[in-house]
Amino acid sequence: MKEYGRKMLELTGISKSYRRGKLRVPVLQEITLNVREGEFVTLIGPSGSGKSTLFRLIGGVERPDEGQIAVDGKVVTGKRGLISYMPQQAALFPWLSVADNISSALATSGTSKKEAKEQALEWLHRIYLGGVAKEYPHVLSGGMQQRVSFLRALLMRRDVMCLDEPFAALDALTRADMQRWLLELWESDRRSVLFVTHSIEEALMLSDRIYVLSPAPATILQEITVPFERPRRADVWMEPAFAELKREVLNLLEKGDISRV
């Protein structure tokens, strides 16, 4: 197994609760996790387990009640503009062309305008979307929009990429296709990724490590290291170890469910 470098993202004892009327509803409890340099880490948990809240905390859109967040060794709790982000819906700007959608995001992260334009075009060609670079996003299919959205996140000059259930809205076939595509692209340019999903296969397919979350208020049930080598084969799901890990995660998720009913 490859040894990973320094911790690019480190969450320590993060807790967060929301006020609903007079009640305080805890959403996250004592979450501690990290993503090392060049590592693909997945958070898996049932729907409504506060994964998106965790992302909002990392993005600095909200502040945790307790705990701290560090990016590349520096404590940056509540600070914005340090991560790149790919949401569940592609979130492309309808009035910008595909290429401009990418280059304007790069400009936000400090790339010069000219360089951003060149990079956007070059990479669109590389992922075979050069032909639609000048089109508006609404002419693209859902899968193509997600590719553009991923590329936009990949190219931003940021230490950590946060992907929030990026394939949840796609149909099964497109989804499998997208997973392979993302894997290939990511393995050629290893960035530190924090990925959220509620699909166990997706998590095992893509990641180096998995954190299993309990239902709200979320705690980390277990940390699992995925043993499959890189570059990962597309048929890795046929291995016995894959099925075994899948069962383990499934058990964890079910147990987490029962212990709270």
* Sites of contact with another protein (CB under 8 A): 55-56, 59-61, 80-85, 87, 89, 91, 93-96, 104-105, 108-109, 136, 138, 156, 158, 162
Q: Which residues contact 255 (CB under 8 A, 6 or more apart)?
A: 221
> Residue 81 Cβ, how far from another protein at the closest point, in Å?
2
> Residue 62 Cβ, how far from another protein at the closest point, in Å?
10
**Alpha carbon distance 151, 29 (integer Å):** 33
Closer to another protein by Cβ: residue 61 or 250: 61
> Residue 178 Cβ, how far from another protein at the closest point, in Å?
19
Q: What angle do CA 137, 139, 145 make, to 5 degrees?
A: 50
Closer to another protein by Cβ: residue 99 or 212: 99
Are residues 36 and 88 in contact, defined by beta-carbon separation less than 8 angstroms? Answer: no
Closer to another protein by Cβ: residue 159 or 201: 159
* Helices of type H across 10-112: 51-59, 98-108
> Residue 138 Cβ, how far from another protein at the closest point, in Å?
6
Are residues 133 and 99 in contact, defined by beta-carbon separation less than 8 angstroms? Answer: yes
> Residue 169 Cβ, how far from another protein at the closest point, in Å?
11
User: Which of 51, 1, 4 minimizes the C-alpha distance to 190?
Assistant: 4
> Residue 124 Cβ, how far from another protein at the closest point, in Å?
18
Closer to another protein by Cβ: residue 17 or 84: 84
End-to-end CA distance of the chain: 39
Distances (CA, A) of 224 to 82, 150, 246: 27, 25, 11
Closer to another protein by Cβ: residue 104 or 119: 104
Q: Which residues contact 244 (CB under 8 A, 6 or more apart)?
A: none
Closer to another protein by Cβ: residue 34 or 84: 84
